[in-house]
Structure formats: C-alpha cells, structure tokens
Amino acid sequence: MTPTTETTVGIGGAAESTDMVLNIGPQHPSTHGVLRLRLLLDGERITRAEPVVGYMHRGAEKLFEARDYRQIIMLANRHDWLSAFSNELGVVLGVERMLGMEVPERAVWTRTLLAELNRVLNHLMFLGSYPLELGGITPIFYAFREREELQHVMEEVSGGRMHYMFNRVGGLKEDLPAGWTARARAAVADVRSRMDRFDDLVLGNEIFRGRTRGVGYLAPETVHAYGVSGPIARASGVDFDLRRDEPYLAYGELQDTLKVVTRTEGDCLARFECLLEQTHNALDLADACLDRIAELPPGPINQRLPKVLKAPEGHTYAWTENPLGINGYYLVSKGDKTPYRLKLRSASYNNIQALTELLPGTLVADMVAILGSMFFVVGDIDK
C-alpha cells in the first residue's frame, strides 16, 4: 500500500485559542462620534471590553468657572446635541434653586412643553439610526421627516435649529409667537399619525427582531452598579423616572398623562421598545401642556433680573430626566457672578460604562447591535 502524507495548510494560530486586541474607533461609523472601544477577542467572541473616552473633551466644566450665569447656558446647551433644550433647563433650574427663585406659571408650562418636544426629537433620531446600523436604511428617512415637522416649530419659537438658547434664569427668553400653539399642535398630531411606521416597519421586521431579541442583556444589578438611567435602565425593569418620582416643572400636574415605560427583558429589543413607547407618551404630554397653556391667562414669561447676577454663597444639586437619562448639576457658589464649580453628571457617561459588562461573552457580530442600543451621544460622554 502506498504511504500517504497529510498536510495541514493555513490554520496558523487559529489551531489553538488566541487572543486578539481589536480597536473599534476612534473614527468609526458605528460609534456615534469619536468613541473608541478596545476589545479583547477569543476568536469571534469578546472576552473583555474597555470604552476609551475623552477624544472630544472640550473642558466645559472648567469653562463654566470663567463664564457668568447667563453665559454658561450656551456651554451646557451643546454636550448632548440632540437634547439642547433639556441641557439648558438643568442649568437654569440649578441657578434658580440657588437663588430661591420662583418662575412664572406660564414659563413653567412652556418649559415642560418644549422639553417634551425636545424628547421626541431626540428619540426620533435613535429610532431611525438604530435600524440603519443593523442594515435597515428606510426608517431613517421617516425619522428625519418627523423631526423636520417638530424642528420647524422649535426653530420658530426660539430662533435656533439645534442649539435653542431659549431658557433664561427666571424663565424663558420671550413669549410664544402669535398662533404658534396651533402650529405646534398640528405638528404633534402629524407626527403621531405617522408613528406607526416605526411600530410596523421596524418592530414588525423579523430580521430586526432576530438581531436584537435576547442580545445584550443588561441586568438590573448592573444598572444600579453603574448608575445607568433613562430608557436603557427602564428596559431592564428599573422603574425610575424623575418626572414621576421627584416631579419638577409641571410634571406633578401631568401624572395622569405621564406613563413610565418599562420592560423586564433587558435586551436590545426591549431598549428600542422603551424608546418608541416613550416617544408616543412624550407626544401625549406635549398635547396636555398645550391644553394647559391655552387656559392660562396672559402673564409674564420670565423674571426681571439685575444687570449683574450673583448667586449667594452655598451649593445645590439639580437633576432632570433628560431624553437619554438623568442629568445632574452640582453647583457651588462663592457669591460671585460665575460658578465656583459646576459639575455635570451626564446620562451617556454612566450608561456607556456598562459596556464593560454587556459586551464580554458576546460575538463581534452583535457588538454594533449592542452599542447602538445604548442610545448615547459622545459629546454627552466627554463634555
């Protein structure tokens, strides 16, 4: 019998378990900005993940100390560029609490209305971009059309398209334009009438469900350990929303309309479902605010302030339920016209840290699905 020779070709190091370090970013289309993920792989499976942040850092917190209380609104406006109005709101609420200032009722309801419209704008971006990251291009076009409807009314009232600069310490910049509430109500109705596109087109898509169901499970214990908040936390069954549990603005009077959306699955699909259902509820809250504003008698929209605004010596903490989660503002004053210290606790910074627990054990193919479901903005991480 003729002897045979067996030759193995092309296996290299794959014949045994081999670790490989893979960098995702800092410039990568799936990272929502300049984020870097340092992954340690065993074949196709992730064994360790480290989010590397700071590539966009602009030192906003340090700049707060060199700007007066009117100017810092502009700095706080920009870190989460999808939630500009809500970012402004947290700062002015902190300064007003420091001053012991009550704002006019008309300003309270208008702030609540604009905060909910801003919430819808934020969520629509992720409702469109998340399917895009998984290969579905159509939803992003619908999302931008709905965003344009609301952008028009936000731009009309504030003069700004993305960075509204409409909040002021003591209220708002100016009153609503004549006929604006009717146009805002029509825009809300138009957007609501087409929201079923996301219910049917995205959630009804078996490929989308196959890519997200059971993928990226986030345990409630991890939510608490990392300070995760917003729709991501509620998708893991953590039933907490500042608008209900520590009401601010007019949310105390909107409890019959406000619905805190939760899921227990804690996977990518649950996070998307929470975001979508919360968008529906934000539209309902906007309608409720419009109804209440129509009943209010004419009155001021802000408080008269001294030419030089100084906060008394002391410290305070204000927090808000921003679209992406809890934003906190710790303000320390030495009695000057600028903050001695203003520490910003942003939602995305805490939320993204949970990737160190979420990604290990998953496949590289599921990494983008998990990353996109964290609904973060890199500017909100780096500040």
Please count the structural domains in the chain: 1
What percent of the chain is predicted at pLDDT more than 70? 93
371 within some domain: yes
52 within some domain: no
76 within some domain: yes
Q: What's the pLDDT at 100?
A: 93
Q: What's the pLDDT at 7?
A: 40
Q: Cβ of 264: how many Cβ atoms within 10 Å? A: 9
What are the tens digits of pLDDT across the range 199-253? 888 998 999 999 999 999 999 999 999 999 999 999 999 999 999 999 999 999 9
32 within some domain: no
Q: What's the pLDDT at 1?
A: 53
pLDDT tier at 34, thresholds 50, 70, 90: confident
Q: What is the CATH number of the domain that holds 258?
A: 1.10.645.10
102 within some domain: yes
Q: What's the pLDDT at 43?
A: 86
Does residue 18 register a pLDDT over 70?
A: no
Q: What's the pLDDT at 22?
A: 85
Evaluate whether 183 touches 156 at the Cβ level (below 8 Å): yes
Q: Which residues are CB-neighbours of 32 under 8 A, at least 6 positions away?
A: 372, 376, 377, 378
What are the tens digits of pLDDT across the range 38-59? 999 988 899 999 999 888 888 8
Q: What's the pLDDT at 349?
A: 92
What range defines the domain where residue 241 resides?
A: 60-381
Average pLDDT over residues 158-169: 92
Average pLDDT over residues 22-39: 76
What are the tens digits of pLDDT across the range 257-312? 999 999 999 999 999 999 999 999 999 999 999 999 999 999 999 999 999 999 99
Nearest of 305, 314, 304, 303 to residue 336 by alpha carbon: 314
11 within some domain: no
339 within some domain: yes
Average pLDDT over residues 314-325: 95
Nearest of 69, 127, 62 to residue 323 by alpha carbon: 127
356 within some domain: yes
Q: Which residues are CB-neighbours of 299 under 8 A, at least 6 positions away?
A: 104, 105, 106
Q: What's the pLDDT at 31?
A: 60
Report the SS3 class of residue 25.
coil
Q: What's the pLDDT at 35?
A: 86
- The predicted model scores a pTM of 0.91
Average pLDDT over residues 366-371: 91
Mean pLDDT score of the chain, rounded to an integer? 90
